């Protein structure tokens, strides 16, 4: 992989620092619950199809009392896209060389009343440079208060940069996180954006604010619900909902496909899958 330029290194440094703060916040919640669970970090290296070093990343996973399974991964990879896949990537049809760095997070919770969550932000370079990502809430048992607070946090991050961002990116999330063969949405939405590349400094600042908004709001929701009592029916509802989540990630998720097509670490790519799920 080629040496990183200033923009690439700045993005990589930010994603890694956000990972550190998120993991610390989640471990603090485990301590409050009387658990000593901590993230286990596994580095991995990637080899480009050309045979050259292709970067790599670090897979972080914690299984605790509050977080049944949470993964927080960072990766920085580069090289060339293979074959027809290049044509599906923004700016890569005529030149398959690429660079990508980002953070990806999925949390599956022990208590069915605590919403699961997904967050991903990334910076990609082909013949173009752009940011993408977002965050969406995935409660097995939705609460209007939680949904409203999560969306308010995402809207505040958007409004600080462009009032048009939130309605556009909210609709994008609603359209993207949908399971056509079930006719249902994966969760209660959030924001999703891609190909944001008109103003590097402004787009990077927005991407950082999305990460900060997530770090601010999600631990609040976990603390709000983690001690609520639940019964077998609640757990059954959670496990069936997780089946839907798994279906989306394996059939439709672009991030899963990107990781598999670019030779990423399989365990890191599939860390989004829940530890337990059921299908009726």
The residues assigned a catalytic role are: 118
Cα–Cα dist 238/175, whole Å: 23
The region, left, alpha or beta by phi > 0 then psi within -120 to 50, assigned to residue 91 is left
Task: Find the helix packing angle between 200-225 and 6-32, rounded to 10°.
Answer: 10
Do 167 and 193 touch, CB atoms closer than 8 A?
Answer: no
Q: Which residues have CB under 8 Å from 140's CB, separation 6+?
A: 112, 115, 116, 234, 237, 238, 241, 242
Question: Any idea how long the chain is?
Answer: 280
Cα–Cα dist 106/253, whole Å: 13
**143 membership: H or E segment, kind and range:** none
Q: How does DSSP classify residue 203? A: H
Cα–Cα dist 265/144, whole Å: 37
């Amino acid at each position: 992989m080629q040496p990183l330029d200033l923009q690439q290194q700045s993005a990589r440094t930010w994603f890694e620092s956000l990972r550190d703060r998120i993991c610390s916040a989640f471990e603090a919640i485990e301590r409050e619950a009387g658990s000593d669970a901590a993230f286990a970090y596994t580095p991995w290296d990637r080899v480009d199809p050309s045979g050259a070093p292709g970067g790599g990343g670090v897979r972080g996973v914690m299984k605790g009392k509050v977080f049944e399974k949470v993964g927080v991964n960072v990766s920085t990879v580069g090289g060339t896209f293979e074959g027809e896949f290049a044509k599906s990537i923004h700016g890569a049809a005529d030149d398959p060389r690429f660079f990508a760095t980002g953070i990806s997070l999925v949390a599956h919770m022990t208590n069915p009343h605590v919403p699961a969550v997904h967050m991903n932000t990334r910076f990609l370079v082909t013949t173009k440079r752009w940011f993408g990502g977002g965050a969406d809430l995935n409660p097995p048992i939705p609460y209007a208060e939680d949904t409203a607070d999560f969306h308010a946090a995402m809207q505040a991050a958007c409004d600080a940069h462009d009032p048009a961002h939130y309605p556009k990116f909210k609709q994008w999330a609603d359209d993207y996180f949908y399971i056509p063969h079930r006719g249902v949405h994966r969760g209660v939405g959030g924001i999703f954006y891609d190909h944001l590349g008109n103003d590097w400094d402004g787009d990077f600042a927005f991407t950082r604010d999305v990460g900060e908004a997530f770090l601010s709001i999600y631990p609040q929701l976990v603390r709000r619900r983690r001690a609520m009592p639940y019964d077998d029916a609640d757990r059954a509802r959670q496990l069936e909902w997780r089946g839907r989540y798994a279906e989306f990630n394996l059939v439709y998720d672009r991030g899963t496909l990107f990781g598999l097509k670019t030779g990423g670490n399989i365990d890191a790519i599939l860390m989004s899958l829940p530890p337990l799920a059921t299908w009726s």
